Amino acid sequence: MFENLSEKLDKAFKVLKGQGSISEINVAQTMKQIRKALLAADVDFKTAKSFTSRVQEKAMGEKVLTAIDPGQLLTKIMKDELATLMGSEQSDISLDGSPTVILIAGLQGSGKTTFSGKLALLLKSKKNKRPLLVACDVYRPAAIDQIGVLAEQVGVDVYQDRKNKNPVEIAQAAIKHAKTNGHNVVIIDTAGRLAVDEQMMKEISAVKSAVNPNETLFVVDAMTGQDAVNTAKAFNEKLNFDGVVLTKLDGDTRGGAALTIRSVVDKPIKFIGTSEKMDGLDVFHPDRMASRILGMGDVISLVERAQQQFDEEEARRVQKKIAKNQFGFDDFLKQIQQVKKMGNMKDLVGMIPGMGKAMKGVDMDDDAFKGIEAIIHSMTKQERENPKLLNGSRKKRIASGSGTTVVEVNQLIKQFSQMGKMMKMMQGGGAKQMMQMMKGKGGIPGM
């Protein structure tokens, strides 16, 4: 599923690539496959249809039939087209107004409250704001408690009034409260509601007209299917929202709903949710999302995330060591720690172009390194620096020290030497070869 769409596109392009010359029929067939792939990624039926016909038109215009590499040309056309549809640049939220009022709306369970907490944290830590969270979900059991807990977690104040069941009044009172207490941002969390629930839709319109927000955000689950069309349209008609928040993108959905929403309501996606934790909020990069849908790998994200975490000097030091064959177990340990800091292994590897497919069926556990770490910690300093020292009796000692077996220790030593080779390959850009090696040779224990 993770690489579902790109696999299908690959297949689609293979039809083109496999043939010396291609015909209009081939292109049409390929487009059909691409449309299927988009549908499997939950892009709305009509959006997928119009998208593929536009691509087909352009492909014909750009003489894809006579191109040397039609597959590549088509990919480029598609990527450009996707990027256009996604919006060409990222867009920030407005922080005008004193206080800035931000209204959060969406279906039940889409992730509004969690997002509200994340946004409060972001504005507090990155923009130096003093946000006030407002509990306007007066319906769902313990909704007020939930936002209270999150407010405490991120260290901001919350406004609540358990006796009042009127969200309009609560929101108005909250803004008053913000003004007298020096809060410069007010984030209003509201109850989840269905677009067809007229009464509830009226309610949120009333909240909106009462508080006149600087920013109204529509929160939608990235896993949403064909219903994204109806819901986005209906909420937009009622609220004329300013932007979209796409949540739960740390799942393995391709997120076709993003494309749908962009194409039916011309509003930017402003944030994406990437974990359950309060810092799991990212700005939306349209081009990256286009790449994700196309399965080309989110290279830029990978590089950026890696850069954030990697001490560059350390990286250079290690590279030298690898080059000189001086890479020891201590360096290995450090590498593991770096990788762990970067987040979920599988996510990271999936971001490397071409790796998504290689990773299919390979289970990567975040705890995969536990055994390895234990073994290395049981080695002496000399042994870590010079693995050649590891003879039978030393191995036995290490095994009992780390609660593992000699077999496991041997395995690690073997894989460590492979790792060295892999890293050399990585320096040469052979990521795919590396994966093959890991898969073919049984991989690192627990992987």
Residues that bind ligand GDP (CB under 6 A): 108-109, 140, 192, 194
DSSP state of 111: S
Residue from 3, 16, 22, 42 in contact with other proteins (CB under 8 A): 42
Residue from 50, 366, 382, 405 in contact with other proteins (CB under 8 A): 366
| Under rule CB under 8 A, residue 227 binds other proteins | yes
Nearer to other proteins, 22 or 219 (CB): 219
CB of 109 to ligand GDP, least distance (A): 4
Which uninterrupted H or E stretch holds 49? helix 45-61
CB of 110 to ligand GDP, least distance (A): 9
Q: Which two tokens stand for residue 62?
A: 């750009």
Nearer to other proteins, 316 or 341 (CB): 341
| Under rule CB under 8 A, residue 75 binds other proteins | no
Distance between terminal CA atoms of the chain? 19
What crossing angle do the helices spanning 329-342 and 370-377 adopt, rounded to 10°?
150
Nearer to ligand GDP, 172 or 230 (CB): 230
β partners of residue 243: 217
- Cα separations (Å) of 129 from 98, 240, 392? 11, 26, 61
Q: Which two tokens stand for residue 376?
A: 């290395």
Residue from 221, 282, 331, 383 in contact with other proteins (CB under 8 A): 221
Residue 77 exposure: Cα atoms within 13 Å on the Cβ side: 24
- Give which of 112, 113, 105 is closest to 235, Cα–Cα: 105
| Under rule CB under 8 A, residue 276 binds other proteins | yes
Given a contact cutoff of 8 angstroms between Cβ atoms, the answer to whether 219 and 104 are in contact is: yes
DSSP state of 370: H
β partners of residue 215: 102
| Under rule CB under 8 A, residue 1 binds other proteins | yes
Nearer to ligand GDP, 224 or 335 (CB): 224
Nearer to ligand GDP, 193 or 288 (CB): 193
Hey, which bits of 44-202 come out as E strands? 100-106, 131-136, 157-159, 185-190
Interface positions, 294-353, toward other proteins (CB under 8 A): 344, 346
| Under rule CB under 8 A, residue 139 binds other proteins | yes
Nearer to other proteins, 213 or 350 (CB): 350
Q: Which residues contact 89 (CB under 8 A, 6 or more apart)?
A: 286
Residues that bind other proteins (CB under 8 A): 1-2, 36, 39-42, 44-45, 107-111, 113, 139-143, 145-150, 153, 194-196, 221, 223-228, 230-231, 234, 248, 250-253, 256-257, 276, 344, 346, 363-367
